[in-house]
Amino acid sequence: MAPASSRTRAVARWIARILAALFVLLWGGFFLHHLDEWYLRQDRFPPAHVTGLMLLHFGFLAGLVAGFRWETAGGLLILACGAAFFGLIGAWKIWHLWMPTLIPGLIWLWLGLQKNSHATGASGPN
Q: What is the DSSP track for 31-63?
A: HHHHHIIIIIS-SSPPPHHHHHHHHHHHHHHHH
Chain-centre distance for alpha carbon 3: 23
pTM for this entry: 0.85
Q: What is the amino acid identity at position 107?
A: I
Angle separating helix axes 71-88 and 6-35, nearest 10 degrees: 40
Full pLDDT tens readout for the chain, 126 residues: 567 788 999 999 999 999 999 999 999 999 999 999 999 888 888 999 999 999 999 999 999 999 999 999 999 999 999 999 999 998 878 888 889 999 999 999 999 988 876 665 555 443
For residues 108 and 89, what is the distance between their CA atoms, to the nearest angstrom? 25
Nearest to 53 by CA among 72, 71, 34: 34
CB 77 within 8 A of CB 63: yes
